[in-house]
Chain A
Amino acid sequence: MSTDDPRYGGEVRCRMAALPGVGGFGAGPDVVVGSAGSREQGAEVVLCCRIAAGRVTEARFRAFGCPHFLAAASWLTDRLVGAGRDDLAGWDWREAATALEVPAAKFGRLLTLQDAVRDVAGNWPGSPASTV
């Protein structure tokens, strides 16, 4: 994929060229998954994180949505490496909006991404939500 469409910033174009981080991990005790959104809403994402010693060591995504959303999910797989549960629980979508020059009309889709990150935090082993 490549484009010179000015609606998309450099990071989006770079990410969309290969969508690094796409995929997932097989289920296991060191794998935590979070998801949010739906195709009806126009944005859906599943985040899959491998964790060790209380930190994310690798992350993967699968997503349905516009180029900004796909690129943000890809960017997130790098951003989350090294993060702990509390980092994920407090992660704010504005960081992705700035990094990927996302237009205001699409901020709502980044909230879907934030929901998925917080879902990972909620499913983190030992967190209150994961034991419910």
Chain B
Amino acid sequence: MKDLIYLDNAATTAVDPRVVAAMLECLGPSGDYANPSSVGHLPGRRARARVEQARGDVAALVGADPAQVIFTSGATEADNLAILGAARFYRERGRHLVTSRTEHPAVLDACRQLEREGFEVTYLKPGSDGIVEPAQVEAALRSDTLLVSLMHVNNEIGVVQDVGAVGRLCRARGVLFHVDAAQGAGKLPLDVNRDCIDLLALTAHKVHGPKGVGALCVRREPRLGLVPLLHGGGQERGLRSGTLATHQVVGLGTALRIAAAEMQADAARVGALRERLWQGLAAVPGALLNGHPTRRVPGILSVAFDGVEGESLLYALPALAISSGSACATTSGEPSYVLRALGRSDRLAQSTLRLSLGRFNTEIEVDRAIGAITAAVARLRAVAPEPGG
């Protein structure tokens, strides 16, 4: 592992040591390990105070009130609770949803479940730059449209959607707006009030927090109804039953508090590393950037190397921890549906690498990655038959 360069931060990140320290304070016999619902005794109240501090940290990051925050097991659960919960609660109001073809499977599969329950879903096709224009959303709205779901930052190509513009038009039309902010929260500014977001899903592990914890911010004024996915002890205002994992929740809160405090500095540094990486790779003949050139999250770069087979390219780069697309999708071996939706050919989609940077990457690592990829591409092209030959 010593010489391995980790460039897969869009899949998950290393937990920041400051987050680890905070989590450890909630474990072990002398820690705040008690059940945060057991407020009848001091250890329980101490754990509850930790949880509420974390709730405040989550809320502060996105301009929400702490009472809006529901802790979940991650963004996938938060997305499912938002989409399934809202659609089932308001099913008499409308049976139509709008989303895009490039959403995360947590959103797309929740929409497909609703289709099985009798809802209709419009899947918008983004432009070749990955952007879904607000006008496309507006054109798709119907009198029975209940909810629009759009991701803030795409997990494969890193493009940033104008969620504020979409939120405002949804609010004006009385349509609920859900944002999957798994890749954007903590990296780019978000404000649920300014951006008219009714439901916002986020996670800890994309911003140097632990896996297994996330949150859903739910609009309170006017109060938004949801049908819960889990039933039991009635925790989280009855929307997410189950004993809260204090250490996980504290990890989420601490990671997001650090992200908020260091957002500008991190964005500048990671963005500069991404630009350095792209400038180095752009010199490789046949390298093509996937997605909009400027509307991008700082850390994600998606590059196709025309004429190179993706699996062999990954194989040739054992010192780099990178992805040939979304980590959620790479086991299938199929070309990325996100890149297909952008109009990329299967051949280009299969020759794509996703390189994603984080807080702990360095210029030296970026330069080594450029060298390794450049050499691997050249070698595989030398092995290949002449194009059209």
Chain A residues engaging chain B, CB cutoff 8 angstroms: 1-5, 8, 16, 19, 22, 35, 39-40, 42, 44-46, 62-67, 70, 105
Contact across chains for A16 and B315 when beta carbons are under 8 A apart: yes
8 Å CB contact of B309 from A1, A4, A8, A64: A64
Which residues of chain A have C-beta atoms less than 8 A from B346's C-beta?
40, 42
In the docked arrangement, what's the CA distance between A62 and B380, Å? 10
Contact across chains for B383 and A1 when beta carbons are under 8 A apart: no
Band of interface residues on B: 20 to 34
In the docked arrangement, what's the CA distance between A107 and B15, Å? 41
Contact across chains for B318 and A42 when beta carbons are under 8 A apart: no
Chain B residues engaging chain A, CB cutoff 8 angstroms: 307, 309, 311-312, 315-316, 318, 333, 345-347, 350, 376, 380, 382-387, 389
Closest CB of chain A to B24's CB: distance in Å? 32
Closest CB of chain A to B335's CB: distance in Å? 9
Contact across chains for A105 and B315 when beta carbons are under 8 A apart: no
Contact across chains for B315 and A45 when beta carbons are under 8 A apart: no
The residue in chain B whose Cβ has the minimal distance to the Cβ of A12 is: B315
Contact across chains for B309 and A35 when beta carbons are under 8 A apart: no
Closest 5 CB pairs between A and B? Answer: A64-B384, A66-B311, A62-B385, A46-B385, A67-B315
8 Å CB contact of B315 from A3, A22, A46, A63: A3
The residue in chain A whose Cβ has the minimal distance to the Cβ of B346 is: A40
In the docked arrangement, what's the CA distance between A2 and B307, Å? 22
List 7 additional A-B contacts (Cβ < 8 Å) besides A1-B318, A46-B385. Answer: A3-B318, A4-B318, A22-B382, A39-B347, A42-B309, A64-B307, A67-B315
In the docked arrangement, what's the CA distance between A64 and B310, Å? 10
The residue in chain B whose Cβ has the minimal distance to the Cβ of A43 is: B309
The residue in chain A whose Cβ has the minimal distance to the Cβ of B319 is: A2
Known: A1-B316, A16-B315. A63 touches B347 (CB 8 A): no
